Amino acid sequence: MITDESPGDIESPSDESEVLDNNLAHLLKPHPLFIEMEGLPETISFREIFGNDNPVEIEVGSGKALFLRQATQARPFHNFLGIEIVRKYARHGADRLKNIGVANVKILPGDALRFLRKVPDHSVTIVHLYYPDPWWKRKHHKRRVFTTEFVADVQRILKPGGQLLIATDVGDYYEQVIMLMKEFSQFQPLPAEELNEPKHDLDYLTNFERKFRKQGRPVYRVSYALGKELPGS
C-alpha cells in the first residue's frame, strides 16, 4: 500500500506506474479472512464459510473494521461477516482483524446487495448498517444502500426475532430510514439506545462515529426487530 509518498520519491511516470501496479497486486492478493464473490454458489452456506452453526451477524459497509474488532471479541460464539465494497478498506480491516487473532470473522470485498441475494432465508441473527455513504446530491440518492430492495432482502434473511441496527450522522438519511421502514410492518422499532461515554479511543461504534462525535456532530441510531411471524408462514 502506498503511504507517505512525496513527489520526490517518484522519479518518472514509469516508476509511478510500477508503484501503482504493485499496489494493485497487493490489493488483489488472497487474504486468509477474505471470501470472494466470484465462485460463490447461487445460495451460500454459512456452515461452509465458518465451519460451524453459530449465529451469524452481517455488517454492511464494514470499512476499517472497528466495529468488527470489538464485536468479534465481545461475542466469540457468534460468526461475523463484514461486507466492504472498497477493496483497500476491506483489506485494511481484514489485516487488523488478523492481527488480533479472531477466528469468528470473514470479510467480503464486494457489493452487499449482490451478496445478500445469495444468503439463505432466515439464516442471520443481526444485520448492522453503520454510517452508509449518504450520496448527498439528490440525483445520486438512488445509489444509497438503504432501499426497499435492501430492506426486503434483510427481512428475508433474518431469523424470526432478528434485528436490523442502523446508525447515521445525516438527519435526512435517518428520516428516510424511518419512512421506508413503515412500509415493512413485520419490523418493530426497538427502544432507543443511549450513546455510551467512550472510555478510550477505540470505544466507538465505527471510525466514522468516533470522528463525528469528537467533532460534536449529532448521530442517529435506530433499531428494529423482525416479528416472530414471517410473511407466507
Residues 67 and 167 grouped into a single domain:
yes
User: In this structure, is residue 80 part of a structural domain?
Assistant: yes
CA–CA–CA angle 180, 186, 188 (5° rounding): 75
Domain that holds residue 99: 32-226
Residues 18 and 116 grouped into a single domain:
no
Residues 20 and 65 grouped into a single domain:
no
User: In this structure, is residue 23 part of a structural domain?
Assistant: yes
What is residue 41's predicted lDDT score, i.e. its pLDDT? 96
Residues 135 and 112 grouped into a single domain:
yes
Residues 215 and 144 grouped into a single domain:
yes
pLDDT digit string, tens, across residues 180-195: 999 999 999 998 777 6
Name the nearest CA neighbour of 177 among 108, 211, 127, 216: 127
pLDDT greater than 70 at residue 107: yes
Average pLDDT rounded to a whole number, residues 124-136: 85
Residue predicted with more confidence, 63 or 6: 63
Q: How many structural domains comprise the chain?
A: 2
User: In this structure, is residue 231 part of a structural domain?
Assistant: no
Residues 17 and 74 grouped into a single domain:
no
What dihedral do alpha carbons 11, 12, 18, 21 form, nearest 10°?
110
pLDDT digit string, tens, across residues 14-72: 554 443 344 655 666 778 999 999 989 999 999 999 999 999 999 999 999 999 999 99
Residues 55 and 105 grouped into a single domain:
yes
Residue predicted with more confidence, 128 or 133: 128
What is residue 219's predicted lDDT score, i.e. its pLDDT? 82
Of 9, 15, 133, 153, which residue is the catalytic one? 133
* 133 flagged as catalytic: yes
Residues 20 and 47 grouped into a single domain:
no
Residues 93 and 144 grouped into a single domain:
yes
CA distance 93 to 87: 10
pLDDT digit string, tens, across residues 62-85: 999 999 999 999 999 999 999 999
